[in-house]
Amino acid sequence: MGVLMSRRQTVEKVQKVSLAVSAFKDGLREQPSTRQRAEVGGTRRGTLEQEVQEGEEEASAGPSQPEESSASKAAWERLRDGRGVEPEEFDRANRFTPPAFIRPKRELHDDEPPDISLEQREQVLNDEMCEICEVWTAESLFPCRVCSRVYHDGCLRRMGYLQNDSAVEVTETAHTETGWSCYYCDNLNLLLTEEEMYSLMETLQHCKIIPETCLTRDDFLHYKHLVHKQQFERPMAEAQEEQAALQFSALDPDKKGHIEWHDFLSHESIQLLQKLRPQNALLRLLTAKERERARAAFLALDQDSDGFIGEGECRHARHSWFRKHRKETPSCNVSISHVGPMSESSPDSSGSSKSQKTPAATKQEEARPVDWPGFLRENVAYILAARPNSAALHLQPSA
């Protein structure tokens, strides 16, 4: 019996050795030859030499490279975490600590059409206590025009969200028809999930965009060219470049020659939302206040109360209603709390030569009826883009 067991063990050992030898031979066949490995190594050495040379050039071009890299790393971390730009030498001794922000997650039912009725109005109520200190002090609370949160101006100051002129602006606009967006709603980047945020960061890094810096017109157009070529593998057409130039002008309403980082980030965030999410998912981002304002807009246009408006009226709303107010100009005809006047750069404005259409084209536009669900779907991105307090137009409507 002992002899039989030892023979069996010997056979099993031989089989294991045979399997190991076969696996080793298969691995040798799959590996590249020595010459091929040398060629690959040479290629990698060339790439590393180029990287070292580029690093030396960057070091000679600017002072204190370690400081710049650490500052850039901190900026990317703030961008990833949705914290925005933190003031230099921010003294936290006598300030509240901003709450940790958790990016939203996509749900399974997000792509299904939401039930937003035109007839059933929603009762919009603001919170009773300050979002920060959770204390109720009635009239001294400043409501957000997008969500239901309310704040004390002192709490906003202690968190660093109100500084200098911004405090006066909040005081003047929070209780007016124009309204004021809180620090959650003012930042469109906070609507992105972690996956969407990483996608945006990869694009910015690929195009060598430095976070928390201003972009000139040339920088913006160069970025748009790179993104278009990366996505479609072909150069941007002339008409698309003109549209990008119009978008830059809309992001620079004061004609400073550059756009601020937070305006650029909000623009890119709303563009990414349009690209990655269906309209039904975008509709679920609307708050009760925004839905009520959209109802008021549609009902004001539906003069005969048949549940339909013309496409020209829908496009007019896109160009003029879902925008910020201009303090020096009168508001538009329809009274909606976040509605703004038409800007000079708008294709519908009288100064734009491209807005002139033939009577037949205008009549055809007016002929296509738009119902309430269609009105919401076609305007949802512009409603979301109107959230920031900045005067910049973060989503330029096409002509």
* Beta carbons of 227 and 244 less than 8 angstroms apart: no
At 23-63, the pLDDT tens digits run: 545 554 544 444 444 444 444 344 444 544 554 455 444 44
Name, of 31-35, 139-143, 243-247, 339-343, the range with top average pLDDT. 243-247
Helices (H), 116-176: 153-158, 165-173
- β-bridge partners, 258: 216
Residue 350 has pLDDT above 70, yes or no: no
Residue 185 has pLDDT above 90, yes or no: yes
Summarize the confidence of residues 375-379 as an average pLDDT: 93
* Beta carbons of 181 and 389 less than 8 angstroms apart: yes
Question: Residue 161 has what pLDDT?
Answer: 79
Tokens 């850039």 -> residue: 72
SS3 label, residue 186: coil
Residue 351 has pLDDT above 60, yes or no: no
* Beta carbons of 320 and 375 less than 8 angstroms apart: no
Report the length, in residues, of the chain. Answer: 399
Amino acid identity of residue 389, one-letter, is N
* Beta carbons of 89 and 95 less than 8 angstroms apart: no
C-alpha to C-alpha distance for 146 and 337, rounded to whole angstroms? 10
Would you give the end-to-end CA distance of the chain in angstroms? 93
C-alpha to C-alpha distance for 385 and 285, rounded to whole angstroms? 12
Q: How many CB atoms lie within 10 A of CB 110?
A: 17
With CA atoms as reference, report the closest residue to 298 among 123, 177, 117, 144. 117
Question: In angstroms, what is the C-alpha Rg of the chain?
Answer: 29
With CA atoms as reference, report the closest residue to 328 among 347, 341, 345, 339. 341
DSSP 262: H
- List the domains of the chain with CATH numbers: 124-186 (3.30.40.10), 188-260 (1.10.238), 277-324+369-398 (no CATH)
C-alpha to C-alpha distance for 71 and 74, rounded to whole angstroms? 5
The β-bridge relationship of strands 150-152 and 141-143 is: antiparallel
At 299-318, the pLDDT tens digits run: 999 888 888 998 888 888 78
Question: Residue 77 has what pLDDT?
Answer: 79
C-alpha to C-alpha distance for 69 and 364, rounded to whole angstroms? 56
Name, of 25-39, 59-73, 133-147, 258-272, the range with top average pLDDT. 258-272
With CA atoms as reference, report the closest residue to 314 among 290, 334, 298. 298
Phi, psi of 31 (to 5 degrees): -75, 145
* Beta carbons of 173 and 145 less than 8 angstroms apart: no
Q: What is the pTM of this model?
A: 0.71
Give the max Cα distance, the chain: 105
Grade residue 320 by pLDDT with cuts at 50, 70 and 90.
Answer: confident
Percentage of the residues of the chain whose pLDDT score is greater than 70: 65
Residue 11 has pLDDT above 70, yes or no: no
Grade residue 74 by pLDDT with cuts at 50, 70 and 90.
Answer: confident
Grade residue 150 by pLDDT with cuts at 50, 70 and 90.
Answer: very high
